[in-house]
Structure 1
Amino acid sequence: MNRRLRAGLAARWRHVAATGDAGSSTVEVTLLAPLLVGLLLFVVLCGRLVAVQLDVDAAASGAARTGSIARTEAAARIQAEQTARDTLAARSLSCPDATVTVTTGGLRPGGAVTVSVSCRVPLADLVLLGVPGSRVVTSTATSPVDQWRGTALSLSTPSTRERP
């Protein structure tokens, strides 16, 4: 029986050697296609997250700069938040639940304004990759308040000035 098995294996090897590897490229493509599609979807996922991170970074940076040149704390908060939301909208980033946090530190000369922007990125449309739900992307930027900036002057009207 051992002799029969050897003869059968030898015949099989001769047949494989004679026909070469015909059809193996079809098998390779069939095996590699799902892997390549998965890799492509992973690249799309990474690209989306990087693009959103850049947009959120720009929003935080612009908002911090806008807040640092405002004249009052209230104006700094309002203008910084509005700038962040406008930047996200201008970059076609739909973040209806974007969170903007502004810290002015008293808006004192030599101080800094810090703005944090958070945005939830939906990932559910990448169904084939199996990524669940969404991901929150956050960025924080700080802009210094000019040390030599002046303060808003409150000029009095002639009727309220003290007379000598």
Structure 2
Amino acid sequence: MAAEVTLVAPFLVMLLVFVAVVVHRGVDARLRLNDAAHQAARAASIERTVPAATGAAHATASNALSSAGITCRSLGVDVGGGLAPGSTVVVTVSCSVDLGDALILGVPGEKRLSTTANEPVDTFRSAPRGGGS
């Protein structure tokens, strides 16, 4: 009995280490995705038009994730809410994170993560001007 336990114990420890690495990778990716969503919502709330807000949110989320070392197979950034003074901008960032590179064996794995962040638009900012005054 002792011989079997001696032979099986290293494999069980190795399996637990692999599971811990994958769980850590998922938790780390979720935290970094939350941070990227908050940065993207802030960038969108500063803009004056919806297309500019969408572009700023996408660029900010992409830069935040790449600088954090998170590679998304597909990145989605949706901007909602309003840009009127006093309203709230809602940004949803979704990312398909590859978990396979966390394992030495190269076992394929992918997890779709999504998070939403809200950011208020400054109440006292001026509205965009129309015409040529």
Which band: TM-score by shorter chain?
0.7 to 0.9
- Kindly indicate whether residue 110 of structure 2 is the aligned counterpart of residue 139 of structure 1: no
Aligned length: 132
How many Å separate the matches in 1 of 2:40 and 2:26? 21
2:119 and 2:45 map into 1 onto residues whose CA distance is: 6
Distance in structure 1 (CA, Å) of the matches to 2:105 and 2:132: 68
Q: Which is richer in strand? A: 2
Shift of 1:140: 0.9
> Structure 2 regions of 5+ residues with no counterpart?
none
Q: Report the more deviating stretch, 29-38 or 145-154.
A: 145-154
Q: TM (normalized to structure 1)?
A: 0.70
Tell me the SS of whatever aligns to 1:107: coil
Q: Is the 8 A contact 2:43 2:56 kept in 1?
A: yes
Give the whole-Å Cα distance in 2 for the aligned partners of 1:82 and 1:59.
Answer: 10
d(CA) in 1 for partners of 2:4, 2:119: 58
CA RMSD of aligned residues (A): 2.5
- Given the alignment of the two structures, is residue 113 of structure 1 paired with residue 72 of structure 2, yes or no? no
The answer to whether the 8 A contact 2:85-2:122 is kept is yes
TM-score by length of 2: 0.84
Distance change in 2, residues 1:43/1:129 (3 Å): farther
Change (3 A) 1:89 1:124: closer
| Identity, % of aligned positions | 36
Are positions 1:57 and 2:34 aligned together? Answer: yes
CA contact (8 A) 1:81 1:102 kept: no
Q: Which amino acid aligns with 1:146?
A: D
Name the CA distance, whole Å, in 1 between partners of 2:6 and 2:105: 19
Larger Rg over CA atoms: 1
Instruction: Tell me the alpha carbon deviations over residues 113-142 of structure 1, each in whole angstroms, 9 at most, x when there is no partner.
Output: 111111112234548697x63111111111
Contact 2:78 / 2:93 at 8 angstroms: preserved in 1? yes
| 1:86 match | 63
